Structure 1
Amino acid sequence: MAGADQDASPETIIELARAVAEVSAQRTSAIGDITRRTKILALNAKIEAARAGIHGAGFGVVAAEVQTISSEIDQAASLMRDEIVGSANRLHQLGQGLVGSMRGQRLADLALNMIDIIDRNLYERSCDVRWWATDSALVDLLEKPDADSAAHACRRLGVILKSYTVYLDIWVADAQGRVVASGRPDKYRVTGRSVGNESWFKDAMATRDGNEFAVADVAPHDGLNNQPVAIYSTAIREGGAENGKVLGVLGIFFDWAPQAGTVVKSVRLTEEERQESRTKCLIVDSNFRVMAASDERYLLMGRYPLHTNGKDMGYYAAEDGTLVAFALTPGYETYKGLGWYGLILQRPPEVEAAWNARHGHA
Structure 2
Amino acid sequence: MSEHVAIQTETFLPYMRDVTKCEQSLQELNLMWRVIEASAKMNCPSEAKTILPTMAATRTGFSRLERELVVSLVQEKVRNVLTEIGTKAQYVIDIVVRNLFERTADVGFLATDRELCNFVAGITDNTDAIRYRLREYRNKYTVYDEIMLLDTEGNVLVQIDPATPLEHSADALIGETLNSDTYVETFRFSDLRPGKERALIYSRRMQHPQTGAVVGILCLCFHFEEEMSGIFSSHRDAESRSNMLLLDADNRVIASADKLWVPVGTEVPVNRDGNASLMLFCGREYLVRTVSSDGYQGYPGPIGWQGQVMIPVEVAFSGVISDALTKLPSDIAEGLLSHAESFCPPLFDIMTAAKTIQRIVWNGQVMTAGQRGEMLKLKTILDQISETGNRSNELFAQSIHDLYQTVLVSGMRDAEFTTSLLVDLLDRNLYERSDDCRWWALTPELRTALAQPEQDQATVEKMTNILTYINGLYTVYTRIFVYDRHGRIVASTGDNAAAMIGAQVDEDSLNQVLSLRTQQQYYVSPFSATSLYDGKNTYIYHAAIRDLDNEAIVVGGIGIVFDSTPEFSNMLASGITGKKKMTAFYIDRNARIISTTDDKRAVGDILDIDPALLAISNGGRASQVTIHDNEYAIVACSVSSGYREFKVTDGYQEDIIAVVFESFGAVQGTGSQTDSRQFLLDTDPAITDGNEYATFFSDNNLFAISAAHVVEAVPYSSVLPTSMGTRVEQIGVLGLQRDDNRKEFIWVFDLGQMMRGTRSAVSGSSQVMIVREGEHTIGLLVDELHAVPQFNPGQIMHTPFALQGASMLVTQVIKANNGQLLIQAIDVERLFALLIDGQIPMPPEVAEQAAENTSSTLQLMAA
Specify the TM-score bucket, using the shorter chain as the normaliser.
0.7 to 0.9
Name which of 648, 663, 680 aligns with 1:347: 663
Name which of 366, 375, 391 aligns with 1:83: 391
The corresponding residue for 1:296 is: 599
The corresponding residue for 2:358 is: 25
Name which of 3, 6, 25 aligns with 2:8: 3
The corresponding residue for 1:328 is: 639
Structure 1 position 259, deviation (Å):
1.1
Q: Which amino acid aligns with 1:344?
A: V
* 1:118-158: CA deviation from partner (whole Å, max 9, x where unpaired): 11111110010011000111111112343133321111001
The corresponding residue for 1:132 is: 440
Asked if structure 2 preserves the Cα contact closer than 8 Å seen for 1:218 and 1:228, the reply is yes
Once residues 214 and 246 of structure 1 are traced to their aligned partners in structure 2, the CA distance between those partners, rounded to angstroms, is 14
Q: Which amino acid aligns with 1:316?
A: Q
TM-score computed with the length of structure 1 as normaliser = 0.78
Asked if structure 1 preserves the Cα contact closer than 8 Å seen for 2:576 and 2:583, the reply is no
Asked if structure 1 preserves the Cα contact closer than 8 Å seen for 2:595 and 2:603, the reply is no
Higher relative contact order (CA 8 A, sep 6+): 1
Structure 1 position 212, deviation (Å):
1.0
Matched, 1:14 2:347: yes
1:299–1:237 Cα change, 3 Å: same
SS of equivalent to 1:322: strand
Structure 1: segments with no counterpart, 5+ residues:
44-66, 353-362
Matched, 1:173 2:173: no
Once residues 79 and 181 of structure 1 are traced to their aligned partners in structure 2, the CA distance between those partners, rounded to angstroms, is 86
SS of equivalent to 1:315: strand
Once residues 240 and 97 of structure 1 are traced to their aligned partners in structure 2, the CA distance between those partners, rounded to angstroms, is 67
Greater strand fraction, Structure 1 or Structure 2: 2
Work out the number of aligned pairs and report it. 320
Once residues 365 and 494 of structure 2 are traced to their aligned partners in structure 1, the CA distance between those partners, rounded to angstroms, is 86
SS of equivalent to 1:99: helix
Asked if structure 2 preserves the Cα contact closer than 8 Å seen for 1:14 and 1:91, the reply is no
SS of equivalent to 2:638: strand
1:300–1:125 Cα change, 3 Å: closer
Report percent identity of matched pairs.
Answer: 19
Asked if structure 1 preserves the Cα contact closer than 8 Å seen for 2:423 and 2:657, the reply is yes
1:345–1:33 Cα change, 3 Å: closer
SS of equivalent to 2:542: strand
Asked if structure 1 preserves the Cα contact closer than 8 Å seen for 2:489 and 2:503, the reply is yes
1:290–1:351 Cα change, 3 Å: farther
Greater helix fraction, Structure 1 or Structure 2: 1
The corresponding residue for 1:48 is: none
Q: Which amino acid aligns with 1:3?
A: Q
Higher deviation after alignment, 183-192 or 324-333? 183-192
Name which of 524, 527, 536 aligns with 1:227: 536
Q: How does 1:198-213 map to 2 (within 5 A)?
A: 199-213=508-522
Name which of 419, 425, 431 aligns with 1:117: 425
* 1:156-183: CA deviation from partner (whole Å, max 9, x where unpaired): 0011111111111111111111112223
Once residues 134 and 235 of structure 1 are traced to their aligned partners in structure 2, the CA distance between those partners, rounded to angstroms, is 9
Higher deviation after alignment, 176-185 or 230-239? 176-185
1:240–1:201 Cα change, 3 Å: farther
Asked if structure 2 preserves the Cα contact closer than 8 Å seen for 1:20 and 1:85, the reply is no
The corresponding residue for 1:63 is: none
Once residues 35 and 182 of structure 1 are traced to their aligned partners in structure 2, the CA distance between those partners, rounded to angstroms, is 90
Higher deviation after alignment, 102-111 or 200-209? 200-209
Matched, 1:72 2:380: yes
Q: Which amino acid aligns with 1:246?
A: V
SS of equivalent to 1:287: coil
Higher deviation after alignment, 167-176 or 128-137? 167-176
Q: How does 1:252-331 map to 2 (within 5 A)?
A: 252-270=560-578, 273-274=579-580, 278-299=581-602, 302-309=605-612, 310-311=615-616, 312-319=620-627, 320=630, 321-331=632-642
1:186–1:99 Cα change, 3 Å: closer
Once residues 361 and 584 of structure 2 are traced to their aligned partners in structure 1, the CA distance between those partners, rounded to angstroms, is 48
TM-score computed with the length of structure 2 as normaliser = 0.34
Once residues 245 and 203 of structure 1 are traced to their aligned partners in structure 2, the CA distance between those partners, rounded to angstroms, is 15
Once residues 225 and 196 of structure 1 are traced to their aligned partners in structure 2, the CA distance between those partners, rounded to angstroms, is 15
The corresponding residue for 2:463 is: 153
* 1:216-245: CA deviation from partner (whole Å, max 9, x where unpaired): 23322124432333100111112288x542
Once residues 348 and 504 of structure 2 are traced to their aligned partners in structure 1, the CA distance between those partners, rounded to angstroms, is 67
Structure 1 position 211, deviation (Å):
0.7
Once residues 318 and 235 of structure 1 are traced to their aligned partners in structure 2, the CA distance between those partners, rounded to angstroms, is 46
Q: Which amino acid aligns with 2:432?
A: E
Once residues 285 and 141 of structure 1 are traced to their aligned partners in structure 2, the CA distance between those partners, rounded to angstroms, is 38
1:238–1:117 Cα change, 3 Å: same
Q: Which amino acid aligns with 1:69?
A: K
Once residues 539 and 595 of structure 2 are traced to their aligned partners in structure 1, the CA distance between those partners, rounded to angstroms, is 12
* 1:174-220: CA deviation from partner (whole Å, max 9, x where unpaired): 111111222348535211222251x3332222222111111123322
SS of equivalent to 2:479: strand
